[in-house]
């Protein structure tokens, strides 16, 4: 497989009964990056992570992680990876320090090394002040950071994050994001599945979109957004009578035919010369006394990408895994 990639998958197949969770899935994750894995419920995201982390066996294709074959060298793969699932795996009765020391002993580090590694990780994830507090008293963000710390006990070169911020408030989610960025800055490769499109947009340098077990797009966040037409100029008029003049004005300066949302009183169209077009539209509408509630340039969102590629908007794409098809992403429970 290609050098420079921490994770490679070619033609992965996984079946459950008569259904394909993965059906010829391809993936390439470059070393030292965050790579997002996005898709609607049942698309196969969790299945892919479970195969790549050696928790379940593939039925076809091949995959390598850290240069090792996940089928033939599963034990060696496990020694080089970390995995943080959708729910924190730490013990709430123990303190943060005791949790990390326990994980260190489970990984056969020995007492002294487990204690020193716990100190290192508590400092790295900003948990030193809470080290001797029971985890049951931690905030959601602190628990998640402790969970990340536990997955880093053996300093893995590849870290799998399967929806790591599910259920967290925005502040706690931001804390986890900062921790992930710090890991990547130190050279760790991260494969991230997430139900939050904003999360993938902010963290991932490249995103693979899955649908029905296959990769249907793979690009940078900006590259994916360009699939739906790049920048758009948007005008929201104050009254319905202003829509025709707004349509005429926008059509004169934009690259494509304007689209109209009658209910929202919104006119929008793709634009190339962004600033000049915005200036011209604003000046013309002002000169013609068309009352405007809002006017601006808008970038497409990843939700727009989902809608274009899969036919599912944010609501479908960001629903929790609990509502996934039992035959598909719930295999993680029984694997």
What is the CATH architecture assignment of 5-80+156-225+312-334? Answer: 3-Layer(aba) Sandwich (3.40)
Global pTM reads 0.75
The partner residues of 12 in beta bridges, in order of sequence, read: 25
- What is the chain's pLDDT, residue by residue, as a tens digit (335 residues)? 457 899 999 999 999 988 999 999 999 999 999 999 998 888 899 999 999 999 999 999 999 999 999 999 999 999 899 888 777 788 899 999 999 999 999 988 999 999 999 999 999 888 999 999 999 999 888 988 898 889 888 888 999 998 888 777 888 888 888 888 988 998 999 999 987 888 899 999 999 999 999 999 999 998 888 877 678 889 999 999 999 999 999 998 887 788 898 889 999 888 888 888 899 999 999 998 999 999 998 887 787 787 778 775 544 334 433 333 333 343 333 33
Helix (H) or strand (E) segment spanning residue 295: strand 292-298
CATH architecture of 231-298: 2-Layer Sandwich (3.30)
Q: How far apart are the first and last CA of the chain?
A: 27
- Residue 164: partners with Cβ closer than 8 Å, 6 or more residues away: 84, 86, 144, 147, 148, 176, 180, 192, 194
Beta strands 60-65 and 5-16 are: antiparallel
How much is the pLDDT for 191? 96
Q: Measure CA 81 to chain center.
A: 18
Same fold, 5-80+156-225+312-334 and 231-298: no
Instruction: From 297, 192, 157, 155, select the one nearest 234 (Cα to Cα).
Output: 297
CA atoms within 13 Å, Cβ hemisphere of 100: 33
Locate 133 and state its tokens: 């507090």
- Give SS3 for 326: coil
Residue ranges per structural domain of the chain: 5-80+156-225+312-334, 231-298
Chain mean position to CA 315: 15
**CB within 8 Å of 215: residues ≥ 6 apart:** 25, 26, 27, 208, 209
pLDDT for position 20: 93
Two tokens at 113?
């090394």
């Amino acid at each position: 497989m290609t050098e420079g990639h921490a994770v490679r998958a070619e033609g992965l197949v996984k079946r459950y009964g008569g259904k394909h969770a993965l059906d010829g899935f391809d993936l390439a994750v470059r070393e030292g990056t965050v790579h997002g894995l996005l898709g609607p419920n049942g698309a196969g995201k969790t299945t892919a992570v479970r195969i790549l982390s050696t928790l379940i066996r593939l039925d076809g294709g091949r995959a390598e992680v850290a240069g090792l074959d996940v089928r033939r060298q599963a034990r060696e793969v496990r020694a080089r990876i970390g995995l943080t699932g959708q729910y924190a795996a730490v013990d709430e009765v123990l303190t943060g320090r005791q949790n990390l020391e326990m994980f260190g002993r489970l990984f056969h580090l020995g007492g002294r090394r487990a204690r020193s590694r716990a100190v290192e990780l508590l400092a790295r994830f900003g948990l030193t002040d809470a080290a001797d507090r029971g985890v049951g008293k931690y905030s959601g963000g602190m628990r998640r950071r402790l969970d990340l710390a536990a997955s880093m006990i053996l300093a893995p070169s590849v870290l799998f994050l399967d929806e790591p911020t599910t259920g967290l408030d925005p502040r706690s989610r931001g804390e986890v994001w900062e921790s992930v960025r710090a890991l990547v800055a130190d050279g760790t490769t991260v494969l991230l599945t997430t139900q939050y499109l904003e999360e993938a947009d902010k963290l991932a340098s490249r995103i693979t979109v899955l649908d029905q077990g296959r990769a249907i797009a793979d690009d940078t966040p900006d590259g994916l957004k360009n699939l739906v037409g790049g920048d758009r100029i948007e005008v929201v008029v104050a009254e319905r009578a202003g829509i025709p003049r707004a349509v005429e004005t926008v059509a004169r300066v934009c690259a494509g035919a304007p689209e109209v949302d009658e209910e929202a009183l919104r006119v929008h169209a793709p634009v190339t010369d962004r600033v000049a077009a915005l200036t011209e539209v604003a000046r013309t509408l002002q000169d013609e006394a068309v009352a405007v509630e809002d006017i601006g340039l808008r970038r497409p969102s990843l939700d727009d990408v989902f809608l274009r590629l899969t036919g599912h908007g944010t609501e479908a794409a960001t629903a929790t895994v609990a509502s996934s098809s039992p035959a598909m992403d719930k295999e993680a429970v029984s694997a």
